[in-house]
Structure 1
């Protein structure tokens, strides 16, 4: 099963080398067939030049520049339309996500045949390092609201770092979110449309370089829009978008 890793990158010249080298070394050590797909989101710094150099060291690295429209959601969507693997993970360019956790995701998907593997930083075994206090407070409130409104038994929906089968990605299209609300759209659509998932603990480490691209003040209404959209689909679409059932159905963890 070939693994693709989609990484959006905007002005990540200081972080991208460590991220990609660590990711490649980890996957190569495990002998996991993979590709690393980086979407350079029209960066204004030297991210593109760094990617050009890294491509000489990392044979599985593929990168393209998204000329526009730009934004986190658009950059991820660019990669999700072009990856070549049987499954795909979304990871951050700042090494906040641990490649060792991705290995666990991959093996868990192979073991369970689930349609998706979700990480949780807040369950037993999960951890966060240097997580800003205000951001943590908002995160926990947002995830509580999501659980109450959608009914999903999962406490880290806003965590972008997840793994999906190709069939799952195809089944939750078309994508609507141009910004960070895509991190909520992907798992909620998968849940609402009946795709199976398992949850395992993962870790998160605050970036060492640069600044976060997530602007909390700008995202509240956008997250709420996607949440309402998924609620409407769940309760009023009469199953029109549900996953087509097969004879062999993977176990569902909800």
Structure 2
């Protein structure tokens, strides 16, 4: 199969017939064998009934329905697991992503051999309350991930080589950082394509301001797990040793200061009367605790069932 189109949705009954028909036209015009996977994330409207109707009309349409709302990341993860196409396309269900972009995305994956091509909505039809935080998050993600060639990590319109979606796990709010997950999994040829951003035709956005807080926390999680997930002692141990030795150096300084004062019959203050004493004490205790945290985390990591789970691209 050439293309799998994975579309997560929540209360988008009005847009689904037009979206599916538009995808069908694009696929037939380009001679693609295809499937359209509609993942209903616990909609409370008639979305599932619409999906069932569309499936009866077109056997290339597949539907997956959650019992409740889990979020976009969960919907994408399930869709990825079910996808059979050589190229997997994701798009939002609100008609703001254009299926007309699919042929070029497909070409770049199959001919230019990209692992992932992310859309860039250079001209957006969103309010400033959405675009400004998005720009800040994109900037932070570029700096933390090292993927400097992407302007829009959160664009729903993306294309993937099948190996990519089969070797990453999307959860929480991680759908915003799929290129980062792909990079950590060893897929490094990541590109970008400027795509059209259409005004919303039906309904209203389903995302609130809390997504920015959750997104930032997930970015920190990705950075930590990707860099130190299999070697936590390198993080906690380093921080602990630095803190411990900082406290130790301050302690030695206080002792030396007191000994010098005694040897020269000078007046000196008690160590407990000096702020440095308490800074040293806290630094030593924190350093010891961080080191123990790293040690325990290392034991957990080494005994994890995933401790030797690595991405293997080829095997002969």
Residue in 2 that maps onto 1:90: 90
| Unaligned segments of structure 2, at least 5 residues | 232-307
For 2:55 and 2:104, locate their aligned partners in 1 and report how far apart those are by CA, in whole Å. Answer: 26
Alignment of 1:164-179 (within 5 A): 164-173=160-169, 175-177=170-172
Is 2:236 the partner of 1:236? no
**Are the counterparts in 1 of residues 153 and 177 from structure 2 also a CA contact under 8 Å?**
no
Structure number with higher helix proportion? 2
Give the greater-gyration-radius structure (CA).
2
Write out per-residue CA displacement over residues 135-190 of structure 1, whole angstroms, 9 at most, x where no aligned residue: 111111111111122221111111122111221112223x332xxx2322321111
For 1:201 and 1:193, locate their aligned partners in 2 and report how far apart those are by CA, in whole Å. Answer: 25
Q: TM-score, normalised by structure 1?
A: 0.85
Deviation, structure 1 residue 213: 1.0
Higher relative contact order (CA 8 A, sep 6+): 1
Write out per-residue CA displacement over residues 43-97 of structure 1, whole angstroms, 9 at most, x where no aligned residue: 2211122222222333311112121453222222221221222231211111111
Alignment of 1:105-120 (within 5 A): 105-120=105-120
Residue in 1 that maps onto 2:10: 10
| Unaligned segments of structure 1, at least 5 residues | 248-254
Distance 1:241 1:199, change over 3 A: farther
Residue in 1 that maps onto 2:179: 187
**Are the counterparts in 2 of residues 21 and 58 from structure 1 also a CA contact under 8 Å?**
no
Residue in 1 that maps onto 2:198: 205
Is 2:152 the partner of 1:156? yes
Deviation, structure 1 residue 221: 2.5
**Are the counterparts in 2 of residues 12 and 47 from structure 1 also a CA contact under 8 Å?**
yes
Q: TM-score, normalised by structure 2?
A: 0.69
1:76 partner SS: helix
Structure number with higher strand proportion? 1
Deviation, structure 1 residue 131: 2.1
Residue in 2 that maps onto 1:140: 135
Residue in 2 that maps onto 1:251: none
**Are the counterparts in 1 of residues 9 and 41 from structure 2 also a CA contact under 8 Å?**
yes
Residue in 2 that maps onto 1:40: 40
**Are the counterparts in 2 of residues 40 and 63 from structure 1 also a CA contact under 8 Å?**
yes
Residue in 2 that maps onto 1:103: 103
For 2:35 and 2:121, locate their aligned partners in 1 and report how far apart those are by CA, in whole Å. Answer: 25
**Are the counterparts in 2 of residues 8 and 75 from structure 1 also a CA contact under 8 Å?**
yes
RMSD of equivalent CA atoms: 2.2
**Are the counterparts in 2 of residues 114 and 198 from structure 1 also a CA contact under 8 Å?**
yes
